[in-house]
Structure 1
């Protein structure tokens, strides 16, 4: 008898590590006995996201797409009512900003050679599951199970299982269709179809693998291609035959060396990998929320993050996670996003978390700066600004999840240089409090550096030159300085772990000095809140934004200051909205909860920081209440809706980019207790 997470839920006294092992074993048994049917590995996690859809144009991203294993090509289930076999795709994300190059993949055509009639296959099931898409078809003569999964970042495999209900001979063909204008150009060796693309060296190769089967023949006609067996397959009654259709995307054949795949073991490896991911959701819990709901949201977060995982290609030297495949503007890695992704990935995919950090630090300059964002083609990288300093926080999250001291040692000097860069390049008046800025002197790039591009607090800012290629806003930002205060404490912790005792004491000394400066210069005792401070006169920028609770998240506020800030956070006229913790107080006349971007919509990272701020200062019940509202009041979150870039705090409706990685990361961290 198989024990699943649902089956052992009543044994709450069971040791957590034993629960983990039982659940992993359960997932493996369910997933390794051939292609998974509906309900496996866990019926609660089927169709967490609706993966049905068909592109109306090559750039259509109006529905969810299945990616995994770092692949740059993805697929979807055909829309409901489309009863033909196969899958939709692929969508190739590495072509420009990404586009669909295929309409159909792995369509199965079976002909009974005795009657010379095609066999009509009737669909019975079509699901997305963690790590694969699955479709089932039946007929009086034969049943067909199709499972699409990724063997690695290069290879997508469609595993097709044919099971005869009576003895018969079958002519078997696998068909596909390219998007108009994306014609499969060549047939290689008579057995494979290769598709090339204008203005790109990339190649998409499609092959059919059948153990012990006769030879194959490939052909192309217009937008259609076919790979067929040259001789019929003979099946006995009850016999099963498995075929694999492999689509290999090679980004640059001149430099890339795609990993080989063993079809028979690839599915087993996929199930083992996903069993580990899914086991990590067992601790997902939130007071007042059913654990099944918490775990389902956590699985959606994992699927979202791994759906945005892209392997090292071109000028991206390590794997990482893009912000959202649903937005054509996000086809690269961003620094601020990367730190948040890594902190969450540490909980279930620590190697990817490490590589996410490395990908950004591959481009660190000699003076310590890390760029805003990097792309497949480094010519597009943005060096006009950096992003808020949460890299050390993410590195420590990886260490706490893995105990990997070697990674701390690898990152320490890089993190120190990045930390010091802020004080050398962004402290205009040399008073120990730092400003956001830019390398080109533009205000827009300085706002980008904050991550809160159009925040109200920056409406009256001007730029000041610090040095060659170094500019600051004329105000010190409270969130930036809170992050840097916390980073000094985190660097102290890393120094202690790797045996740098002198550094450890120096970091603590610097943190103590910075703590006093933030408390004295950036807190308004009359208003009971933290604000940005203008340079020169030091007057505070009295805008109630999410940056005001960053000192609580970082632990820099005194208990008395924290109590006052909590009062503001829990005021329903300011931040305790239906979906709590918007980026601008509700009673601000500039509050724009739908179209305001950083002027009122709720962003999950800031909301997560708000919940953790409450917890840090002992407001556990209030933190639970706010966290529960973030989950329960986000429209569709506990159903099939994707995780969005931001939300309307008054209605819970999601807006901007769907399948947004740092929203997923924030939810995963929020639920991981």
Structure 2
């Protein structure tokens, strides 16, 4: 059952986009128009310099043409499942109108162009007819351009829907009956374009070079103020040999799209941060939702469940990563729980018999990375889904998998069998071990040596504090899950193990002289004294004593270390290796670690300081409250975003931060 807010949003959406004209009735909740600038036109097939609209798990996306582009239609599509992704179309759903019996096209002027949650909209007008275009996704295969034509007088018009593919794609363009088909070299995928709607009985398809036209075989008659609705469907079938797409009724699909997005937007009512206006918090939350759903990709090829990629703006991120997935799932649970569950399943589809989960998986499993895994936050994410949904069946489904993954760490990554684990790799390389940490080039790993544990199992020669904090929290969370599904004996065992591990982490990794948690060298009482974000992981996991926490907090709030303009860099500002722009994990702010830092403060009673740091993370990130995308990381001294735009775990972290 929908909440009152959800029903209100749906009602407004249906009023605006029902049978009446879009131009007359406006759009639902204008607060959330253009939270991201979606204008752009590809200069090359691989151009990712602007934002792209994806939804519903689609592997193809579109943009609004640049400001000043007076032609109708949309830019695209960009097909993400072709290699690392490329633009195969330049213009989709261009509308050409000519009054019957004349030889001159009706000239239309653009009046509006917006990106809204779940759709793109463009509006045009002329003295005799207005045109409103909405582009939305009916499902993961089918994009729809909904076109409303409204005449000011009785009018018979010839209607043409035109499109343009990228020049290099012209050889794959052909007419197939009353539709246009586009095929691609070295791929079985097919993109088909068809027209139907009011007064559409027969169509004529023409292909010439890189252009195509779909013409109505007879004029469309409009009475004064009458609205006709046409639909242009663009359907991407990834592989016709393994699956097809069932076309839906477009009018029904549009209503379902509005209902689905109303459900998403209802969740933002809980977005709040002390001292931050709620409208700002909610706009950032909407941007986070749009970012996560823009990176949603449906099960295709060797990806057996839906999930969220790190960023469509980076060609290196065309797959699912493990610890990205755990963070995505925790945030998705707040507004899209079905997708959150599938995000978890997608990674565990590839769990080995001994419990390992791979670093990342792709459409083609030959590209999967088995050289390492990623930090163990899967149980935390599973519990987040349960707390958002109350779904005990999902806990029962995941429990044995989570247990095997947890036990794997101590079987394959505890070189000295002392109950504390190390990051490592399956191939013995230090680079893969650093990847396993997720903090690839962190200063604390500069001098690591690899040690063999067994066949296909190697460890660094240091126990990492964040890894063991995560594993400790996994034991606590596994106890919670075990109790929820009736495994009380298991729950008691997990708590017993957690108590022993907590003491070991405090003894081995807390440095009383420096008042901070550090990685520990194997075989001796020696710590890697690098002040990094990993040092507050024991507070996030509730390991530290109040006295230990107080000293760690004093380091976190030191403006020379971590209380920077945009707070919580991954390396202390006063470290000689601090490099916030090019350092990757040597100084930039990564939002997951910053979020853990805020939560660390909250868990030990530093609520005021947590609120202050959280506000700075929101307000000092350049463009976050305006139209800029969410970036992979940020400069702690200026708030400038760097690396990949439209980064999913930054979006996930902001969404969690605002709850």
2:162·2:214 contact (CA, 8 Å) conserved in 1?
yes
Q: Counterparts of 2:126 and 2:7 in 1: how far apart (Å)?
A: 40
Q: CA deviation at 1:526?
A: 1.1
After TM superposition, the score normalised by the length of structure 1 is 0.96
Matched, 1:545 2:508: no
Q: CA deviation at 1:181?
A: 1.1
2:172·2:184 contact (CA, 8 Å) conserved in 1?
no
Q: Deviations over 1:93-147 (max 9, x none)?
A: 0000000000000000000113332100100000000000000000011000000
Q: Deviations over 1:196-250 (max 9, x none)?
A: 0001111000000124423101110001000010111111111111000000001
Relative distance call for 1:242 and 1:31 in structure 2 (3 A) is closer
Matched, 1:479 2:455: no
**Where does residue 11 of structure 1 map in the other structure?**
none
Equivalent position to 2:325, from 331, 338, 355: 338
Equivalent position to 1:301, from 282, 288, 306: 288
Matched, 1:434 2:426: no
Matched, 1:52 2:39: yes
Equivalent position to 2:566, from 565, 568, 579: 579
Matched, 1:657 2:653: no
**Where does residue 177 of structure 2 map in the other structure?**
190
1:32·1:271 contact (CA, 8 Å) conserved in 2?
no
Equivalent position to 2:116, from 107, 113, 129: 129
Matched, 1:281 2:256: no
Q: Counterparts of 1:364 and 1:323 in 2: how far apart (Å)?
A: 20
Equivalent position to 1:380, from 367, 384, 387: 367
Count of paired positions:
657
| Structure 1, 233-242 or 296-305: larger mean CA deviation | 233-242
Q: Counterparts of 1:36 and 1:662 in 2: how far apart (Å)?
A: 35
SS of 1:247's equivalent in the other structure is: strand
1:284·1:291 contact (CA, 8 Å) conserved in 2?
yes
Matched, 1:110 2:97: yes
Matched, 1:523 2:510: yes
1:184·1:193 contact (CA, 8 Å) conserved in 2?
no
1:528·1:565 contact (CA, 8 Å) conserved in 2?
yes
Q: CA deviation at 1:288?
A: 1.0
Q: Counterparts of 1:360 and 1:84 in 2: how far apart (Å)?
A: 43
**Where does residue 10 of structure 1 map in the other structure?**
none
Equivalent residues in 2 for 1:398-477, closer than 5 Å: 398-477=385-464
Relative distance call for 1:646 and 1:33 in structure 2 (3 A) is farther
**Where does residue 499 of structure 2 map in the other structure?**
512
Equivalent position to 1:172, from 156, 159, 170: 159
2:56·2:137 contact (CA, 8 Å) conserved in 1?
yes
2:76·2:89 contact (CA, 8 Å) conserved in 1?
yes
SS of 1:82's equivalent in the other structure is: coil
Matched, 1:204 2:207: no
Relative distance call for 1:632 and 1:186 in structure 2 (3 A) is closer
Q: Counterparts of 1:502 and 1:25 in 2: how far apart (Å)?
A: 50
Relative distance call for 1:347 and 1:33 in structure 2 (3 A) is farther
Q: CA deviation at 1:40?
A: 2.2
1:166·1:237 contact (CA, 8 Å) conserved in 2?
yes
Matched, 1:592 2:567: no
| Structure 1, 214-223 or 376-385: larger mean CA deviation | 214-223
After TM superposition, the score normalised by the length of structure 2 is 0.98
Q: CA deviation at 1:183?
A: 1.3
SS of 2:268's equivalent in the other structure is: coil
Q: Counterparts of 2:499 and 2:6 in 1: how far apart (Å)?
A: 41
Matched, 1:606 2:593: yes
Equivalent position to 1:221, from 203, 208, 213: 208
1:28·1:275 contact (CA, 8 Å) conserved in 2?
no
Q: CA deviation at 1:23?
A: 4.7
Matched, 1:666 2:647: no
Q: Deviations over 1:67-100 (max 9, x none)?
A: 0000000000000011000000000000000000
Q: Counterparts of 1:109 and 1:173 in 2: how far apart (Å)?
A: 5
Relative distance call for 1:35 and 1:557 in structure 2 (3 A) is farther
**Consecutive unaligned residues in structure 1, runs of 5 or more:** 1-15
Matched, 1:254 2:250: no
Equivalent position to 1:619, from 606, 610, 633: 606
Matched, 1:67 2:26: no
- How much is the aligned-residue C-alpha RMSD, in angstroms? 1.3
**Where does residue 490 of structure 2 map in the other structure?**
503
SS of 2:168's equivalent in the other structure is: coil
Q: Counterparts of 2:278 and 2:465 in 1: how far apart (Å)?
A: 36
| Structure 1, 103-112 or 35-44: larger mean CA deviation | 35-44
Q: Counterparts of 1:322 and 1:534 in 2: how far apart (Å)?
A: 35
Q: CA deviation at 1:31?
A: 4.9
Q: CA deviation at 1:22?
A: 4.2
Q: Deviations over 1:395-448 (max 9, x none)?
A: 000000000000000000000000000000000000001000000000000000
2:16·2:26 contact (CA, 8 Å) conserved in 1?
no
1:110·1:119 contact (CA, 8 Å) conserved in 2?
yes
**Where does residue 326 of structure 1 map in the other structure?**
313
Q: CA deviation at 1:601?
A: 0.5
Q: CA deviation at 1:189?
A: 4.3
Q: CA deviation at 1:185?
A: 3.5
| Structure 1, 27-36 or 252-261: larger mean CA deviation | 27-36
Q: CA deviation at 1:258?
A: 1.3
**Where does residue 558 of structure 1 map in the other structure?**
545
Q: Counterparts of 2:74 and 2:160 in 1: how far apart (Å)?
A: 15
**Where does residue 134 of structure 2 map in the other structure?**
147
Q: Counterparts of 2:142 and 2:5 in 1: how far apart (Å)?
A: 33
Q: CA deviation at 1:41?
A: 1.6
Q: Counterparts of 1:270 and 1:34 in 2: how far apart (Å)?
A: 18
Matched, 1:94 2:70: no
2:195·2:232 contact (CA, 8 Å) conserved in 1?
yes
2:20·2:227 contact (CA, 8 Å) conserved in 1?
no
Q: CA deviation at 1:33?
A: 5.4
1:190·1:216 contact (CA, 8 Å) conserved in 2?
no
Equivalent residues in 2 for 1:348-359, closer than 5 Å: 348-359=335-346
2:420·2:463 contact (CA, 8 Å) conserved in 1?
yes
Relative distance call for 1:32 and 1:281 in structure 2 (3 A) is farther
Relative distance call for 1:33 and 1:413 in structure 2 (3 A) is farther
1:644·1:659 contact (CA, 8 Å) conserved in 2?
yes
Q: Deviations over 1:520-546 (max 9, x none)?
A: 110001111000000011300000000
